[in-house]
Structure 1
């Protein structure tokens, strides 16, 4: 009895301590929120706009004081939104108080298509005569790619630059599943539909390797051409330096080949900025970060109120993937329907950044895209990836814009149902039951498909693929045969996709909005971003369990947590998928 009360007291004390720390954390969050209240920010003359892009970059930033406060308390970079980055760069271009932009992008990790949009905006910014500078002790290859557009690109004398070409890697689970006694029963259409390969092979198939080589080389050709153009060197030089692994060599190699402008310490870099902004050496630079600058008001050239709007609808993440964090087909369909029926919305831009997901969910969204495109201009803007289901929901648009490094295509579908009979035999489990009809127990996870069941599943996949290529053929004004020829589940880069008529033009979100403006014949317009933002307090409370689960998982497993997410998606996702191969990592 004494031990019981000792344990009870210890448990109670532990609960009190945990509650105490939770209260402290909550108070800390509230204090940070209070200190960063939503007041309009005012800036001085000769101010620098500082873009710290080392955190995650989403297509759309959702102003969430809780998330920002947690990031500030933990010391991690706050999430940023491409929409806010582009808007701030455009505003800084007009702002007489902004002298230039300073990039903090050394550890940039976002996708190449997103980087391309920011690069283009910075090039446009420089056309005003204002400067863009960058400094970092370490540049990832993506960080360097963005910084290469700067007027001056500096590296710490003891720093490193990762510039060694692109590499795409996939993880294969078949060996693990074999040891567990789990067989993935797979039905698919398309020899390039490699999303299922991690569960049925130990390495890439030849078609998968071929398609990866094609789109990866296409992406690298574009990246090195843009680096060469920005740095004023030959394309061959970029390859030559990349083959020397400059990250592990003396930085003088980069300086001698004009790939950086100098080796400086941070204090030297700051002194140069002070000279550029006429700041006294003993004074601090006047600088404003992106989140603060978003609250700065700078009058636009066009004055007056206009009722006419262009709706920008964001579709980011997996389609009906079960996590609730990606695209929910019913919700997105409702949002597109709302924009279609709103008489003040004269055109729609659908921003797609999705690897696909549920085939049924993709069909549901496609229908609303098609209906909307019949009554008003609808332009698709593809982000880093708009493949498989992501392409499905795009194909009915009047015009599709993508970046040269966007991953798209992957027109195909597949289905996977595990058979755990081998595992249950190992642990001594057996199953028995009674059924009234031939297929009453289909699909079963505890036995393999019968021939009839497999034939039914294959016919269902073939029917789904036929619908998919039919949607694409109608949207692209071509034949099913023509789509099938470039389909079969094959992934293409944006540059490849333009050549085979899967996209119409190169360009990012800003260019898509301009295309929508022209198509609708608008002189003046306002941007309406959809879906409407959820209340941050409700979103914070709703996301606590998911965030806690992710935090614990990443704390224990680190980068390997992504494999657990793959297995989790199998449990929660739809069985029939129009999805890009799982977790293509391009770096």
Structure 2
């Protein structure tokens, strides 16, 4: 076949230009470094970039130079990411240009269902003849720590609000409670329903047949072809030869995230539409007070950094709308409330605030999202978890077992209330309960106000329960289903901006500028540099055995460092525990 062929006239390359065949490796998650984290950006060099990749999927279909898309698929992908990529593939396929997915196998320990659901959005799916298709459903595995803590001599003294706040259950119990089981059954059910619907739509199969295939897998390559799960069997060279036969032998391969749109002349503003841009503010990682930083348990997002971004929006007249990109399980209740305040200030300034939820936007992550004008989530986003827990770990037995003793001097009846070396008194437990009740009251009030719901309606979906994005929309916690691309579109529409209005980080501090000392707290450099503090987290452990042994901030920081390193609660937390999905 000579020249460039396509199923539609719009798919033909422009005369005198080399046709481009975009390719993607989707066997692992693309890199997604935060704009203000130079270390993360350095570590991501050489890897596919999520932002440019999604842009190419949504926009390259209209580029006359681009003639098709070929992607290697398979492996373990986060559910929400797979859905966001699938929406991008569907957008590209809407151009009528060929989309081909190929896999060596869909058998990554039974965790390939999200990857296969993504593959089903392509118009043709290939599988290596020796591969398998293992669509085995969804399982949720929860590890309970109580038995290990008992053996270590660590006693958790934790309280939660309320029965669905299962972060406490993971630590204080050794099996699922009825509420915990109910929540996990619905989470897994929602994810499987979404995947089955996507596969059925993509492969032209009835939902009942897809569910039967899930319940009777895995399948060999030939069985998968006969069942309609794949179209053809072959190896990489055969896949690419077939694609080139469809789009033209002269097509040049280009990684999709390297694609850039052609420069277009600036169009005059339409009547009634103002110039400006959409500002993006990132809330990624556990929420803590102070600046964003890195620690032994991974990156944390600091309230100082996020609120500085939001203040920069208020000071920039050209920032006409804000997209708050939230991918966080929550964290500090106080830090979450600090961010909430400035989200409200931006909204009250008249700028539309649109939240785009990533894989998780729960507990404190939902707290900061609830005042937005529009909340957008992916169907598999884990959100809600409207509740709080707090308390401490008592390590008296552990210290005795290793031969450590404690000498104490205290001034004040409750100076050691949060010491890890003794239990709460009855009066101290009453004060802890009062504090947690106050935080829960504030949280549910914020949600009721932000979502326009009655307190009774919020109570019905709160109590610490985690929802998928699909179910959260049903119960009123989310407005629309979609990804970051959809959130940006909504922000442009609400701000009356053109479809091509720029999207920019709320503030930018160059590498050289970061070196200088900030002049004051309003200087962008004050919160621009995330600290690499793995050593700091470990140094904080000295609070357990430090020479002074004061049960104050330093000792508390020591327990917090240990708790965060192990993924356990520290202080009053608006945090969702990790959920292991298979």
TM-score class normalised by the smaller sequence: 0.7 to 0.9
Q: Which residue of 2 aligns with 1:421?
A: 396
Provide the rounded CA distance (Å) in 1 between the counterparts of 2:312 and 2:44: 34
Is 1:586 paired with 2:581? Answer: yes
Name which of 85, 94, 117 aligns with 1:127. Answer: 94
Q: Residues 347 and 542 of structure 1: is their aligned pair in 2 closer, same or farther, counting only changes over 3 Å?
A: closer
Task: Describe how 1:47-126 pairs up with structure 2 within 5 A.
Answer: 47-57=20-30, 78=47, 80-81=49-50, 83-109=51-77, 111-126=78-93
Name which of 408, 411, 416 aligns with 2:383. Answer: 408
> For 1:367, what is the secondary structure of its paired residue?
helix
Task: Describe how 1:33-44 pairs up with structure 2 within 5 A.
Answer: none
Q: Residues 369 and 224 of structure 1: is their aligned pair in 2 closer, same or farther, counting only changes over 3 Å?
A: same
Is 1:386 paired with 2:361? Answer: yes
Provide the rounded CA distance (Å) in 2 between the counterparts of 1:101 and 1:120: 14
CA offsets per residue over residues 59-84 of structure 1, 9 Å max, x none? 55659998788778xxxx82532x22
> For 1:121, what is the secondary structure of its paired residue?
helix
Name which of 312, 320, 340 aligns with 1:366. Answer: 340
Is 1:299 paired with 2:271? Answer: no
Name which of 185, 199, 222 aligns with 2:194. Answer: 222
> For 2:180, what is the secondary structure of its paired residue?
helix
Name which of 252, 255, 258 aligns with 1:289. Answer: 255
CA deviation after TM superposition for structure 1 residue 502, in Å: 0.7
Equivalenced residue count is 515
Q: Which residue of 2 aligns with 1:256?
A: 226
Q: Which residue of 2 aligns with 1:138?
A: 105
Name which of 564, 577, 584 aligns with 2:573. Answer: 577
Provide the rounded CA distance (Å) in 1 between the counterparts of 2:513 and 2:429: 48
How big is the alpha-carbon RMSD for the aligned residues of Structure 1 and Structure 2? 3.0
Task: Describe how 1:165-314 pairs up with structure 2 within 5 A.
Answer: 165-246=137-218, 249-279=219-249, 286-293=252-259, 296-300=260-264, 303=267, 307-314=275-282
Provide the rounded CA distance (Å) in 2 between the counterparts of 1:155 and 1:318: 39
Name which of 35, 40, 46 aligns with 2:19. Answer: 46
> For 1:172, what is the secondary structure of its paired residue?
coil
Retained in 2: the 8 A contact 1:358–1:573?
Answer: no
Provide the rounded CA distance (Å) in 2 between the counterparts of 1:262 and 1:566: 52
Name which of 293, 296, 301 aligns with 1:327. Answer: 301
Q: Residues 125 and 290 of structure 1: is their aligned pair in 2 closer, same or farther, counting only changes over 3 Å?
A: closer
Q: Which residue of 1 aligns with 2:502?
A: 526
CA deviation after TM superposition for structure 1 residue 160, in Å: 2.0
CA deviation after TM superposition for structure 1 residue 301, in Å: 8.2
CA deviation after TM superposition for structure 1 residue 45, in Å: 2.2
CA deviation after TM superposition for structure 1 residue 546, in Å: 5.2
CA offsets per residue over residues 105-140 of structure 1, 9 Å max, x none? 22242x222222221222121121111111120232
CA offsets per residue over residues 476-505 of structure 1, 9 Å max, x none? 112222211210000011121111111112
Q: Residues 137 and 545 of structure 1: is their aligned pair in 2 closer, same or farther, counting only changes over 3 Å?
A: farther
User: Any gaps of 5 or more consecutive residues in structure 1?
Assistant: 1-42, 551-564
Q: Residues 532 and 107 of structure 1: is their aligned pair in 2 closer, same or farther, counting only changes over 3 Å?
A: farther
Question: Normalization by structure 1: what TM-score?
Answer: 0.81
Q: Residues 301 and 223 of structure 1: is their aligned pair in 2 closer, same or farther, counting only changes over 3 Å?
A: farther
Is 1:148 paired with 2:112? Answer: no
Retained in 1: the 8 A contact 2:156–2:393?
Answer: yes
CA offsets per residue over residues 328-386 of structure 1, 9 Å max, x none? 11101110121122111111111111111111111010001111111111111111111
Retained in 2: the 8 A contact 1:377–1:519?
Answer: yes
Q: Which residue of 2 aligns with 1:351?
A: 325
> For 1:348, what is the secondary structure of its paired residue?
strand
User: Any gaps of 5 or more consecutive residues in structure 2?
Assistant: 1-15, 107-111, 516-528, 539-560
Q: Residues 471 and 67 of structure 1: is their aligned pair in 2 closer, same or farther, counting only changes over 3 Å?
A: closer
> For 2:89, what is the secondary structure of its paired residue?
helix
Name which of 501, 506, 511 aligns with 2:476. Answer: 501
Retained in 2: the 8 A contact 1:172–1:198?
Answer: yes
Question: Normalization by structure 2: what TM-score?
Answer: 0.82
Greater shift in the superposed pair: 218-227 or 507-516: 507-516
Provide the rounded CA distance (Å) in 2 between the counterparts of 1:576 and 1:544: 24
Q: Residues 427 and 63 of structure 1: is their aligned pair in 2 closer, same or farther, counting only changes over 3 Å?
A: closer
> For 1:432, what is the secondary structure of its paired residue?
coil
Q: Residues 533 and 206 of structure 1: is their aligned pair in 2 closer, same or farther, counting only changes over 3 Å?
A: farther
CA deviation after TM superposition for structure 1 residue 544, in Å: 7.6
Is 1:162 paired with 2:134? Answer: yes
CA offsets per residue over residues 281-313 of structure 1, 9 Å max, x none? xxxx621113432xx341358636984111122
Provide the rounded CA distance (Å) in 1 between the counterparts of 2:465 and 2:39: 41
CA deviation after TM superposition for structure 1 residue 274, in Å: 2.0
Greater fraction of residues in helix:
1
Retained in 2: the 8 A contact 1:133–1:153?
Answer: yes
